[in-house]
């Protein structure tokens, strides 16, 4: 695993998957003086990024081009100090296997996905000491012009299961300064906190086809969102997880900080793509069944999103008015 280099600007950093999250992370690496390797799925996407540029708009409306070296997995250096894996949860297995074949020496692999399952798979392949999880509480969505828009930043967390072991962990808040990333001794409670908040915000915004702020827009939607959180809290308690913050306050805080953001699940639905519902509400449902906790509201939201995902329901989207 080795020790971190003396200067952060000497670090070899890779961002795997340059969607909304990957673009956001790459931008803040740029802000802190680092031009990372930007890993694309195939050569065509890499060439498109070179030709068109990867653009991000900040909260003041300023557009910046992300600086980095656009490559594919085949061109990835064998030695990487820190790699941020930002692909969708359902693409993680393929991504991790390709990464294992090509980057034989990774100091720290940071998993940035929503839900349960991605971090676990990375742990299985690379081992507990080399894998961390970034709980990113920042809103970013890609508009119709292909520009990623930053809509809000709340407190984010970086850590490993059961305590900090990897010496690169402390570097992540430094190289992502501005994203408000805090190192924690045990990431698991924070993963559950994010899971519960996501299980509420993502499917509701996807079904209503509205930005995150809709969660607090009236008493009925807020009551529904709080009911989802209540089910998640019951499951967390049943598996012995003590949440680090009040999940209801966290939900309200995240929604307020990202009120204009289109959740990742809503973005997937609008482009008629696959969502991460199986890794969020689906995971809560499955874990709940294992520990004897019923989650009927999560199940209803899960089925509704799966129907949208399958294009069974195809209706006008009020979210289009925001675009």
Active site residues: 194
Q: Which of 193, 151, 153, 185 is nearest to 60 (CA)?
A: 151
Tell me if 49 sits within 8 A of 38, measured CB to CB. Answer: yes
Beta bridge partners of 133: 111, 159
Q: Which of 268, 285, 307, 154 is nearest to 228 (CA)?
A: 285
Residue spans of beta strands (DSSP E) within the chain: 13-16, 37-40, 55-57, 63-65, 69-72, 79-85, 105-111, 131-135, 138-142, 148-153, 156-159, 181-183
Q: Which of 319, 114, 316, 58 is nearest to 213 (CA)?
A: 319
Between CA 190 and CA 216 the distance in angstroms is: 23
Name the region of 41 (left: φ>0; alpha: ψ -120 to 50; beta: rest).
alpha
What is the token pair recorded at 64?
């910046």
Phi, psi for residue 6 in degrees, rounded to 5 = -65, -30
Q: How does 9-41 read in b/e, with b if 16+ C-beta sit within 10 Å? A: eebbbbbbbbbbbbbbbbbbbbeeebebbbbbb
Q: CA separation (Å) from 13 to 83, 181, 206, 251, 267?
A: 6, 17, 33, 32, 27
């Amino acid at each position: 695993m080795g020790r971190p280099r003396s200067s952060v600007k000497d670090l070899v950093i890779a961002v795997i998957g340059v969607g909304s999250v990957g673009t956001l992370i790459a931008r803040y690496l740029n802000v802190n003086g680092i031009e990372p390797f930007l890993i694309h799925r195939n050569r065509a996407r890499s060439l498109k990024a070179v030709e068109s540029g990867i653009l991000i708009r900040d909260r003041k409306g300023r557009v910046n081009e992300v600086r980095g070296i656009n490559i594919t997995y085949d061109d990835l250096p064998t030695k990487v100090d820190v790699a941020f894996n930002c692909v969708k949860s359902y693409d993680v297995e393929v991504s991790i296997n390709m990464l294992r074949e090509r980057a034989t020496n990774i100091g720290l692999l940071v998993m940035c996905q929503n839900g349960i399952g991605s971090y676990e798979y990375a742990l299985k392949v690379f081992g507990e000491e080399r894998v961390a999880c970034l709980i990113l509480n920042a809103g970013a969505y890609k508009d119709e012009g292909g520009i990623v828009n930053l809509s809000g930043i709340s407190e984010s967390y970086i850590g490993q299961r059961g305590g900090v072991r990897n010496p690169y962990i402390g570097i992540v808040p430094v190289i992502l300064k501005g994203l408000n990333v805090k190192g924690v001794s045990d990431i698991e409670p924070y993963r559950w906190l994010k899971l519960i908040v996501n299980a509420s915000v993502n499917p509701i915004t996807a079904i209503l086809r509205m930005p995150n702020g809709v969660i607090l827009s009236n008493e009925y939607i807020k009551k529904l969102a709080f009911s989802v959180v209540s089910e998640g809290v019951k499951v967390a308690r049943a598996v012995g997880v003590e949440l680090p913050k009040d999940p209801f306050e966290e939900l309200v805080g995240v929604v307020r900080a990202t009120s204009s953001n289109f959740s990742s699940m809503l973005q997937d639905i609008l482009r008629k793509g696959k969502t991460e519902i199986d890794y969020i509400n689906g995971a809560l449902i499955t874990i709940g069944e294992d520990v004897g906790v019923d989650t009927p509201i999560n199940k209803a939201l899960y089925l509704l999103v799966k129907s949208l995902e399958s294009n069974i329901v195809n209706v006008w989207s009020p979210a289009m008015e925001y675009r």
